[in-house]
């Protein structure tokens, strides 16, 4: 079996392993951008379909744009289908993330870094936990994310945070709070998305700037699904292990055996930067979680 066949086999079994998560009942069932989100900036650069199921954000020399969820959540799973800026997208950043908006903020980030035409998009993930960040990882995706919609998911529970692309786990951050590792577990977060000018750093460290003649730059979002505990001021309710909070059940406390194989495949073939391997950045004092199990 050749490399491509192995890759497709892994992705197929990864899809099968995640079906049970996808079919749980949704806490926020509308999947209507007009009902579930509000525009945070530049409404003239936001376009929403008549049925509310799809929304696009535009970046030009005048402005970028963004939106955020009307509600805040503490634990759950968030899925969003995204199609990224096609063609020459160097310097652009499309972000999809959870954020607590507090001084000691918690945040779980997908950041899509545009590139010059013909070069791969880079997906950067990052975490803030109690105000601490510097936990970036970067991968090259195994497909062109500007050609079609793909599903980007965050599973966040008491045990772990799992970043997934089309149900393939690309990153895992375990709850090692008992060992002194910061983990987002008390602050509710809202769901946000934006497109903005990041050409001071996003592409080759800022060497490739936005070519405005290629714009406007448009990213599209659709078919969001929010299976999460809606914040009502009581952390105990969201931390409970019950039928409503399915994501806190024991079966979601670690990766399945199939997910582990997929995860190792991503780590071997697609990771291009891992903060846990950047001794220079941390002066040979890597964060504690770098030496602890991921699953």
- Catalytic positions are 107, 111
Instruction: Give CA–CA dist 36/45, Å, rounded.
Output: 18
Q: Are 287 and 130 in contact (CB under 8 A)?
A: no
Instruction: Give CA–CA dist 112/82, Å, rounded.
Output: 10
Among 65, 95, 97, CA closest to 189? 97
Instruction: Give CA–CA dist 153/284, Å, rounded.
Output: 32
Length of the chain measured in residues:
295
Instruction: Give CA–CA dist 228/108, Å, rounded.
Output: 15
Instruction: Give CA–CA dist 93/219, Å, rounded.
Output: 10
- CA 149-254-291 angle, to 5 degrees, is 105
**DSSP letter at 120?**
P
Among 52, 127, 71, CA closest to 97? 127
């Amino acid at each position: 079996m050749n490399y491509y066949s192995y890759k497709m086999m892994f992705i197929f079994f990864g899809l099968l392993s995640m079906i049970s998560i996808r079919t749980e009942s949704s806490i926020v069932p509308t999947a209507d951008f007009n009902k579930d989100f509000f525009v945070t900036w530049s409404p003239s650069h936001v376009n929403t379909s008549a049925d509310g199921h799809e929304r696009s954000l535009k970046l030009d020399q005048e402005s970028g744009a963004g939106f955020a969820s009307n509600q805040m959540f503490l634990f759950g799973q968030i899925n969003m289908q995204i199609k990224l800026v096609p063609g020459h997208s160097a310097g652009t950043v499309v972000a999809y993330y959870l954020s607590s908006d507090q001084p000691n903020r918690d945040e779980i980030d997908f950041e899509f870094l545009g590139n010059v035409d013909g070069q791969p998009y880079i997906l950067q993930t990052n975490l803030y936990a109690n105000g601490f960040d510097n936990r970036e990882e970067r991968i090259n995706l195994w497909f062109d994310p500007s050609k079609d919609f793909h599903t980007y998911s965050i599973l966040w529970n008491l045990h772990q945070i799992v970043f997934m692309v089309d149900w393939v786990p690309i990153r895992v951050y375990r709850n090692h709070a008992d060992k002194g590792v910061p983990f987002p577990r008390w602050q509710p977060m809202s769901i946000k998305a934006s497109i903005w000018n990041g050409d001071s750093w996003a592409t080759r460290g800022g060497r490739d700037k936005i070519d405005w003649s290629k714009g406007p730059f448009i990213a599209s979002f659709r078919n969001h699904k929010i299976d999460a505990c809606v914040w009502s001021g009581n952390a105990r309710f969201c931390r409970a292990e019950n039928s409503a909070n399915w994501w806190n059940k024991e079966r979601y406390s670690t990766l399945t055996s199939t997910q582990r194989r997929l995860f190792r495949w991503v780590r071997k073939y697609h990771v291009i930067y891992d903060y846990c391997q950047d001794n220079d950045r941390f002066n040979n004092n890597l964060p504690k979680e770098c030496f602890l199990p991921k699953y």
